Amino acid sequence: PRPERGAPPQLSFRVTGHDEIEAHTYYKVECSVTLRGERRLEWQAFRRLARLRAELHDSVKAELGAAYAQHFEGKPFAGRGGLRGTTAVLDTWCQALAACV
């Protein structure tokens, strides 16, 4: 749904899949921001799990401090090793991130 004119920006982060590239798993992160109900910007990035953890998760957790548990309750970040189900776990975590921004 498109937000009303004058509404605050809407942010979306979704992890929609992954690809194996040179023996490494890269997760597809689809991002969008809708500005003032008019203009929607979309982009995607492929990132390895370790980079998502170090550059996104760890930074968010440090910045939020004690509030992290409130925003991400029941939505853990993916475990190390890229086990089965990692894409879905990352997607849930990224949706929670967008909701708290």
Chunked into runs of 10 residues, the chain (101 residues) has average pLDDT values of 69 97 96 87 97 97 97 95 92 97 84
Predicted local distance difference test score (pLDDT) of residue 92: 98
Q: What's the pTM?
A: 0.87
Q: Which CATH superfamily is domain 10-100 in?
A: Phox-like domain (3.30.1520.10)
DSSP secondary structure of 19-82: EEETTEEEEEEEEEEEETTTEEEEEEEEEEHHHHIIIIIHHHHHHHTTHHHHHTTT-PPPPTT-
Task: For residues 27 and 45, give the distance between their C-alpha atoms in angstroms, rounded to a whole number.
Answer: 8
CA separation for the pair 37, 63 (Å, rounded): 28
Domain ranges of the chain: 10-100
Q: Which residues pair with 24 in a beta bridge?
A: 21
Report pLDDT for 81. 84
